[in-house]
Amino acid sequence: MAIKKAPTKKLIVNTVSEAVGEDALDIVFYLQGKKDISEFTIAEDLDIEIHQIRNILYRLNNEHLVTYRRKKDREKGWYISYWTFNNPRVRELHLILKVKKLEKFQDRLDNEEKNKGNYFLCPNACVRMDFPTATEHDFRCPECGTILNQQDNTRTIEMLREKTDELISDIKKLKA
C-alpha cells in the first residue's frame, strides 16, 4: 500500500485560502504537527481573540480540515475544544475544489457556446448582457445609458476551453 506524502506548504496555502480564507493559514500552520491543542492555547499563542479563533476553527471544521474533541472543564464547568489539523484532507479538498471549478467552467463554456455572438458589452465596461437582457434594456447600458456593442465571444470560448482542458489534466494527475 502506497503511503501518501504530506501536502506541500504551497498546496496547503492554496487549498485553505480558497476553501476557508487566508485568515485561517496562521491557525493551520500553528496546528500542523500538533495534536489536541486547546482553542485557548491557540488564541493565546497567536495573540488572536478567542471568538475569532473559534470562527476560523469552525470554518476549518466545516471543510473537515480540522478535527476536535470536547472536554468539560471541572473547575468552571465550560466545555473546551481540543483541535488537530487533518493533514490528509488537504489533498482530498484540493481535488474537490478543482472538480467544482471545472463544473463551473464547463457550465460557462456551454453557455458561451450556445449564445455565440449574442452577447452585448457596454463600451465603458459597466455590463455584459445576453441578447434577451439587452433587448429588455433597448440595447442601452442600465448603468451609464451608453449604447451596447455586440461582443465577439470567440476569445472567451477559447480561454474557457483552455481552462477546462487544464483543469481536466490537473484532476487526472491528482487522481493518479
**pTM, rounded to two decimals:** 0.79
**Quick check: helix, strand or coil at residue 92?**
helix
Nearest-angstrom CA–CA distance, 123 and 147 = 8
Q: Which residues, other chains included, contact 127 with Cβ-Cβ below 8 Å and sequence gap of 6+?
A: 121, 141, 142, 143, 148
Residue 2 has a pLDDT of 43
Average confidence (pLDDT) over 67-86? 91
Mean pLDDT of all residues belonging to the chain: 92
Give the amino acid at 83.
W
* More confident: 81 or 77: 81
Backbone φ and ψ of 106, nearest 5°: -65, -40
Binned at pLDDT 50, 70 and 90, residue 4 comes out as low
Answer for the pair 143, 127: CB distance below 8 angstroms, yes or no: yes
Quick: pLDDT tens for 107-136.
Answer: 999 999 998 989 999 999 999 999 999 999
**Res. 1: pLDDT tops 50:** no
Given its phi and psi angles, is residue 57 left (phi above 0), alpha (psi -120 to 50 degrees) or beta?
alpha
Quick: pLDDT tens for 78-88.
Answer: 888 999 999 99
Q: What percent of the chain has pLDDT over 70?
A: 98
